[in-house]
Amino acid sequence: MTPSKLLVFSFAFILISCNGKKAQKDENKNSEEVVALEPKERVHKTTLPLDSLNLPKGFKIEVYAEGVDGARSMTMGDDGTLFVGTRNEGKVYILQDLDGDHWAEKITELDSTLESPNGVAFRKGDLYVAEVSRLLKYSNIESNLTSPPEPEVIYDDYPTEFHHGWKYIAFGPDDKLYVPVGAPCNICDRTKEDERFNTITRMDPDGSNREIYARGVRNTVGFTWHPETEELWFTDNGRDMMGDDVPPCELNRASEIAQHFGYPHCHGGSVADPEFGDGNPCSNFVAPVQPLGAHVAALGVKFYTGNMFPSQYKGHIFMAEHGSWNRSSKVGYRITMVTLKGNEAVEYKPFIDGWLNTETQDQFGRPVDLLMLDDGSMLISDDFADAIYRVSYVGV
């Protein structure tokens, strides 16, 4: 072979080799893209010690989003956008899982100038946000995520007290917006000053026709509706400064409008308040369906109606216990489950724990709210770890 032919042959061999490597690289790239869209193959690393969490056999917990500072209440838009409120950060977040792999790769701020925008609710394309004393509406929000509209104020006459002033909100099956007004204290009775204290109110979506739905509610930061009876069920945080083990927090059921659940006279259905209990026996009030642990601070509550979890979980209640702040040894910091028989609670037990190390008394997370996804999995917000988790059932 002449030198010139050898040069041409060598160049052709190099070109073919390079093209072969490029083709293989492109093939691998396409393969990686396909794998990246397959939820079971997608692995996202986290520094959170999820291995320390205890779940029932067959369940799995993963991080859905991180870096959501102070993540509290959650609501899902019609197009799959997750909106997350905060208590102290003044922000409402937009979380987007753009490829359906259960990882929110895009996190933006809808607003960062609000007063304790804990509560968020979604209705017919509009996002509702609760501040301490007013309610806002961001119209047609999912069509305007990159340039959100200025919010419309639909109600601005709630009390301005910050103590228990942050609000959880949700739309009921009656298409009414339910809004609580917490007690502006640990223990007091200021209902003569403003009858809305210690209540759950409701109103039409435009802010009209506000009325008191339930009374004697110290501080609920989570409620939901029974999937069949459509009755309101809610958690309530017990008062402080009566010791480590008294009084219990509560899981309640409102079977009709205008019922009274005890505060400030009776706690947990059985504990008379030392200051306000005289002349107001616990028998005068609606007792909780389930007295909870003292100081566990149960917040978010949901019925499980999906089809992913085994059948023994369907129709029963899950709660996020945020955890104690003033107890000699901490309690809560977990997800619990209440098994029901009709409207009767027959069992109350942990579903997920381990956010709190009971030996060192250190915690790495504090669950706040729950949200069930269409596939039957469960989202959990955590305002201490600044994260959202996803719990799924993968089988045994």
57: which residues sit within 8 A by CB, 6+ positions away? 396
Query: How far is residue 1's CA from residue 167's CA, in Å, rounded to a whole number?
Result: 86
208: which residues sit within 8 A by CB, 6+ positions away? none
Do residues 353 and 366 make contact, with C-beta atoms less than 8 angstroms apart? no
Instruction: Give pLDDT tens digits for 273-330.
Output: 999 999 999 999 999 999 999 999 999 999 999 999 999 999 999 999 999 999 999 9
- Of the listed ranges 37-41, 128-132, 155-159, 255-259, the least confidently predicted one is 37-41
| Residue 338 confidence (pLDDT) above 80 | yes
Both structure tokens of 197: 């204290």
| Residue 3 confidence (pLDDT) above 50 | no
Element containing residue 318 per DSSP (H, E): strand 317-321
pLDDT given at position 71: 98
Q: What angle do CA 246, 252, 253 make, to 5 degrees?
A: 160
For the sheet with 232-236, list strands across it. Answer: 223-225, 232-236, 250-254, 290-291
Query: How far is residue 89's CA from residue 344's CA, in Å, rounded to a whole number?
Result: 38
| Residue 38 confidence (pLDDT) above 90 | no
Both structure tokens of 78: 């019609």
Cα-based distances in Å from 171 to 156, 253, 303, 316, 379: 18, 17, 15, 20, 19
| Residue 36 confidence (pLDDT) above 80 | no
At 323, which amino acid appears? Answer: G
Q: For residue 43, what pLDDT band results from cuts at 50, 70 and 90?
A: low
Handedness of CA 285, 168, 155, 127 (dihedral sign): negative
* Average pLDDT, integer, range 78-82: 98
Strands 356-357 and 362-363: antiparallel
Q: What is the DSSP letter of 266?
A: E
Q: What is the DSSP letter of 113?
A: -
Instruction: Give pLDDT tens digits for 69-79.
Output: 999 999 999 99
326: which residues sit within 8 A by CB, 6+ positions away? 240, 241, 295
Q: In the chain, what are the domain boundaries?
A: 1-36, 48-393
Q: For residue 160, what pLDDT band results from cuts at 50, 70 and 90?
A: very high
**Residue 177 burial by CB count (10 A; 0-12/13-18/19+): exposed, middle or buried?**
buried
Quickly name the fold that domain 48-393 has. Neuraminidase (2.120.10)
Residue 140: HSE in the Cβ half-sphere, 13 Å Cα cutoff: 4
* Average pLDDT, integer, range 350-368: 98
Q: Average pLDDT over the chain, rounded to whole?
A: 91
pLDDT given at position 396: 80
Residue percentage of the chain with pLDDT more than 90: 88
Q: For residue 12, what pLDDT band results from cuts at 50, 70 and 90?
A: very low
- Bridge-partner residues for 65, per DSSP? 388
Handedness of CA 10, 16, 19, 20 (dihedral sign): negative
**b/e string for 204-242 if b means 16 or more Cβ within 10 A?**
ebebeebeebbbbbbbbbbbbbbeeeeebbbbbbbbeeb
Residue 135: HSE in the Cβ half-sphere, 13 Å Cα cutoff: 30
Nearest to 255 by CA among 225, 284, 291: 225
**Residue 365 burial by CB count (10 A; 0-12/13-18/19+): exposed, middle or buried?**
buried
Strands 82-85 and 152-155: unpaired
Both structure tokens of 275: 């200051």
pLDDT given at position 28: 35
pLDDT given at position 32: 31
